Structure 1
């Protein structure tokens, strides 16, 4: 929320701001809560990364967890500075991440193995170049929503073809965190004027970050379970310290 305060980073150059007072706690951090709320996403992605490497999942899941970490770090830099360059460093990884989800979701049934990753890579590269030149506003949001919608039918197909109750619970948690997070994001964007007059700002965008950190983790864990089923690795959902779900597999000795 722009308020004319000067800072270490200079004037705000990003095309979008959230409903949080700028530089309320430090001249080095523009949006404090929106910045630190990304830490959870980094932590959850790191836990998923360790599990993927330790159990020797396919490299696509290693890349997926790393991309979640990169996205959260980019978001931290953007909200800390509110600069156009850092905004691109947040938005471009968002698109790349969705392209990676599309690959993981659709590649098992893709008959021509090299065409899909080649197309998605070129699409992501072209988008990055164009996005660095053109200041997309609402166009970026529409584009991102379309990419998300393209993934939903495939996620639903995986859900209905999975009989494991624990795995289905992961998918339900994915939907719940996405829905609640979207509500927080929408409220922060649309009702900022009203929220600003409240004694306490609920920090809807920061809550969006927290919920989307869990959302990405649940989505990744569900996809790892489904992929392990496809590969015949006898997956099961277990819980870290009885709280955080993750996938445990048993690969055949030949693998």
Structure 2
């Protein structure tokens, strides 16, 4: 929303999309505070997934998927912090690349992964990709919906993490690595594998 209680460090809002959060209400450096900080869990989840993929010896494509999740979250932070038109692309362009990476991950390296692709949905598109309402129509949102998009970030971060974990589990099964799900801190699932010993 264009009105703000604090002066903007980034200048006037130039983006084509604004959500139901008061701009610069908490800081002159962050336009949409909750939409910005809600990307932090996404980055942490992607980092955990990246470390696990690397430590368990999965193919590079799984590391690339986790890195793309991090890039998307960082781009989203940049956009929501500034609400500048040029930086809006740091939020939207990585979404397109990530969808392409998922498609390639499903179809390119392993023909049998096509079965996974048929039973696992692609990552959901960002609401702005299927936007029906114009920004002007959204300006009437009440305070209750201010955190809605922030929660969307957190839930999509979890969705991406779980999707990658699922794909890693399926791939480990395909390779005969005896995967099992264990939990980090007692609640966050990740794949642990037992690779067969190499025969010489």
Unpaired runs of at least 5, structure 2: none
With over 3 angstroms needed to count, the CA separation of the structure-2 counterparts of 1:154 and 1:13, relative to structure 1, is farther
- Cα pair distance change 1:158/1:87, threshold 3 Å: same
Question: Counterpart in 2 of 1:43?
Answer: 44
Calculate the TM-score normalised by the size of structure 2.
0.84
Q: Deviations over 1:114-153 (max 9, x none)?
A: xxxxxxxxxxxxxxxxxxxxxxxxxxxxxxxxxxxxxxx9
Report deviation, 1:81. 0.3
Q: Is the 8 A contact 1:14 1:82 kept in 2?
A: yes
Structure-2 residue corresponding to 1:2: 2
Query: Which residue of the partner structure matches residue 115 of structure 1?
Result: none
List aligned pairs for 1:221-240, cutoff 5 A: 221-240=165-184
The number of residue pairs the alignment matches comes to 193
What is the match of residue 249 of structure 1? Answer: 193
Aligned equivalents of 2:198, 2:76: Cα separation in 1: 42
Q: Distance in 2 between matches of 1:60 and 1:156?
A: 15
Structure-2 separation of matches of 1:85 and 1:189: 19
Does residue 215 of structure 1 match 2:159? yes
Structure 2 CA distance for partners of 1:58 and 1:211, relative to 1, 3 Å: same
Which whole-Å CA distance do the structure 1 matches of 2:2 and 2:37 have between them?
A: 19
SS at match of 2:183: strand
Q: Give 1:106 shift.
A: 1.4
Task: From the superposition, tell whether residues 213 and 76 of structure 1 become closer, same or farther in structure 2 (CA, over 3 Å).
Answer: same
Q: CA separation in 1, counterparts of 2:107 and 2:149?
A: 31
Q: Distance in 2 between matches of 1:99 and 1:254?
A: 35
Give the deviation of 1:254 after TM superposition: 2.6
- As a proportion of its length, which structure holds more helix? 1
SS of the residue 1:18 aligns to: coil
Are residues 1:78 and 2:79 paired? yes
Normalised by the length of structure 1, the TM-score is 0.67
- Point out where structure 1 has 5 or more consecutive residues left out of the alignment: 111-152, 160-170
Structure showing greater relative contact order (alpha-carbon pairs closer than 8 Å, 6 or more residues apart): 2
Distance 1:202 1:18, change over 3 A: closer
Report if aligned partners of 2:20, 2:146 keep a CA contact under 8 Å in 1: no
The alignment status of 1:55 with 2:36, answered yes or no, reads no
